[in-house]
Amino acid sequence: MCETYDDLIDDYIDGTRAADHPGDARRAAFESHLAGCTRCQAVVEDFTSIRRMASALEEHVPPPRLWAKIAGTIEEKPRRISAWIPIAAAASLALAIAGSTWLAWMKSPADTLRQVTATVEEPSEAPAETQYEQAIAGLQQLADARNASLDPNTRAVLQRNLAAVDRAIDESRAALSDEPASAFAQESLFDALDTKIALLQDTVALTAEDVNQ
Amino acid sequence: MRTADLELAARCRAGDADAFEELYRLHVRRLYSLAVRMIGSADEAEDVLQEVFLQAHRKLAGFRGESTLGTWLYRLTMNHCLDHLRGRQAKISRATGSLDEEGAVEPVAPTPVVPSAISRMDLERAIDLLPPGSKAAFLLHDVEGFEHREIAEILGVSEGTSKSQVHKARMKLRMLLSR
C-alpha cells in the first residue's frame, strides 16, 4: 500500500535518503518501492515542484508607515529609564554570555580569580567598600591583561556595560556623600559594586574561554 | 549569532530606541511576508505585525536567549496570526479549518498532476486555502526554510506533528493546483 509510505515521501523530498540511515529497512523498502511505483513517483514529482516554487516565492514588502505606527505607539508610552536599567541589562547580558563558560572556567586552574573574588567573601577587618575595591582592582588587573584576546564586538559590549556600571557607582557615591546615613544609598552602592564584580568575572571567564580554545 | 541577539535585546531593554528599530529592520520583511500569507490580507497583516512588535517591545525583558531572537519573533508572529484567524473564524464562520483539523486524505493520482508551469499567484491562492495548522507548518518549512525541530519550537507542537502538517499541506496544494 502506497499510503504506508506517506511520511517517508516527505523525508525523501526533503533530502533524507536510505543511504543516510543504514539499517533503516523501512526507508530502504520505500526507495525500492518508489523505483517501480508510478503513483509514488507522481507524488514525489509534484511535491518537489511545490517545494521548489514555494522556496522561490517573493517577500511581501511592508509599508513604511508600519514602523511609523509602531514607533509612535512606543513613544506615547515612554518608559521611566532609571540609571539601574542599563546596569540590569548589562548584568543579564554578561551573565547570559558567560553562563555556559563560567563553570568550565571554574573547573580550570583559575586560582588567581578565586583568590581575588574570595576577598569579598571572607571575613575581614577592613571596611566593606575597601574589600570591594580590592576585589575589583584584582579582577580589573586580570581582565585588562587578557582583554586583547576577546572578540572585538564582545569586548565593546563589555566595556560599554562596565562604563554604565561605573557611572552608577559614581552616582551612588555622590548620593551617599550627600546623605551618609542613608541605608538606601549605601545599599545602592553595594549593588553597583556587586554588579561590577560580576561583569569583571564574566569578562575574565570569556577571556579564559578564548585562551582555552 | 546568539551573542549578537543578546546584545541587541539588552540594548532594547535598556531603552535604546535605535536598537529596537534595528531589531525591526532585521526581521520585519520575513515576518510581514509570513503574516500576509497566513492571514491572506496585507491590511490585516499590517495590524498584526504592529501588535507583534509592540508585544515584543514589552516582552523583551523575558528574552533569555534560549532561542534566537528571530525564532522568538516568529513564535510571537505565528501566535498573533493564529489568534487573528480564530477570531475571524468565530465572526464569519468561514471554512478555514482548525489547528487540529484532520485533513481529508486526497486520492493519489497515478501521474503528476501539478502543471510544470504554475504562476506565483496560483501558488499564493492555493496556499491561502490551506487550513491554518497545515498552512503554518508549510509556510515555515517550504517557504521560510525552517527545520521541523525549529517549527516544533515556534508552533509549540512535536516534530512529528510538524511533519504531518507539512505533508497534509503538500497533498492539499497538489489537489488545488491540479484543478
Q: Does A174 touch chain B (CB under 8 A)?
A: no
| pLDDT, tens only, A22-33 | 888 888 999 999
Mind listing the pLDDT tens digit of every residue in chain B (179 residues)?
467 887 888 888 777 888 999 999 999 999 999 999 999 999 999 999 999 999 999 888 777 777 888 899 999 999 999 999 988 777 665 444 444 454 555 556 666 677 766 788 899 999 999 999 999 999 999 999 999 999 999 999 999 999 999 999 999 999 999 86
Is the CB of residue A69 less than 8 Å from the CB of residue A172? no
**B120/A39 CB distance under 8 A:** no
Give the C-alpha separation, B101 to B87, whole Å.
17
Please, which pLDDT band fits residue A61 given cuts at 50, 70 and 90?
Answer: very high
CATH of the domain at A125: 1.20.120
Domain extent listing, chain B = 2-92, 97-179
* More confident: A88 or A194: A194
DSSP string, A5-41: GHHHHHHHHTT--GGGSTT-HHHHHHHHHHHH-HHHH
Cell reading at B43 = 491590511
The pLDDT value recorded for residue A209 is 55
Is there a single domain that holds both residue A202 and residue A134?
A: yes
**B54/A71 CB distance under 8 A:** no
ipTM of the complex: 0.84
Is there a single domain that holds both residue A40 and residue A89?
A: no
DSSP string, A77-122: S-----THHHHHHHHHHHHHHHHHHHHHHHHSS-HHHHHHHHTTTS
The pLDDT value recorded for residue A109 is 36
**3 state SS of A152:** helix
Q: Which residues from B are below 8 Å from A195, CB to CB?
A: none
Give the C-alpha separation, A152 to A146, whole Å.
13
Of A50, A60, A97, the CB nearest to B3: A97
Of B32, B53, B111, the CB nearest to A42: B111
Is the CB of residue A94 less than 8 Å from the CB of residue A161? yes
Is the CB of residue A117 less than 8 Å from the CB of residue A141? no
Is there a single domain that holds both residue A47 and residue A91?
A: no
Overall average pLDDT of the A108-121 stretch = 46
**B54/A157 CB distance under 8 A:** no
Is the CB of residue A92 less than 8 Å from the CB of residue A200? no
Domain extent, residue A151, equals 84-212
Please, which pLDDT band fits residue A186 given cuts at 50, 70 and 90?
Answer: confident
The pLDDT value recorded for residue A208 is 65
Indicate the fold that domain B2-92 takes in CATH.
Answer: Rna Polymerase Sigma Factor; Chain: A (1.10.1740)
Domains identified in chain A, total number = 2
Cβ count within 10 A of residue B179: 7
Least confident of A8-12, A118-122, A183-187, A203-207: A118-122
Q: Residue A179 falls within a domain, yes or no?
A: yes
Type of residue at B85: L
Cβ count within 10 A of residue B91: 8
Query: A57 to chain B nearest CA, in Å?
Result: 7
**A60/B36 CB distance under 8 A:** yes
**A71/B32 CB distance under 8 A:** no
Chain centroid to CA A66: how far?
Answer: 29
DSSP string, B97-153: --TT--PPPPP--SS--S-S---HHHHHHHHHTS-HHHHHHHIIIIIT---HHHHHH
- Farthest CA pair distance, chain A: 89
Indicate the fold that domain B97-179 takes in CATH.
Answer: Arc Repressor Mutant, subunit A (1.10.10)
Q: Residue A79 falls within a domain, yes or no?
A: no
Query: A95 to chain B nearest CA, in Å?
Result: 10
Is there a single domain that holds both residue A19 and residue A116?
A: no
The pLDDT value recorded for residue A59 is 93
Please, which pLDDT band fits residue A102 given cuts at 50, 70 and 90?
Answer: very low
- Pick from A16, A46, A206 the residue to mutate for testing the B interface (most B CBs within 10 Å): A46
Cell reading at A142 = 586580570
**A66/B170 CB distance under 8 A:** no
Give the C-alpha separation, B40 to A19, whole Å.
40
Give the C-alpha separation, B138 to B177, whole Å.
15
**A57/B120 CB distance under 8 A:** yes
Cβ count within 10 A of residue A56: 10
Is the CB of residue A139 less than 8 Å from the CB of residue A195? no
A and B: number of Cβ contacts within 8 A: 142
Query: A42 to chain B nearest CA, in Å?
Result: 4
Identify the domain boundary among A18, A34, A55. Answer: A55
Q: What is the 3-state secondary structure (H, E, C) of B36-89?
A: HHHHCCHHHHHHHHHHHHHHHHHHHHHCCCCCCHHHHHHHHHHHHHHHHHHHHH
> From B116, which residue of chain A is nearest by alpha-carbon distance?
A49
Q: Which residues from A are below 8 Å from B7, CB to CB?
A: 93, 153, 157
**B21/A71 CB distance under 8 A:** yes
Is there a single domain that holds both residue A91 and residue A187?
A: yes
The pLDDT value recorded for residue A171 is 78
Of A60, A63, A81, the CB nearest to B33: A60
The pLDDT value recorded for residue A159 is 78
Q: Which residues from B are below 8 Å from A73, CB to CB?
A: 50, 54
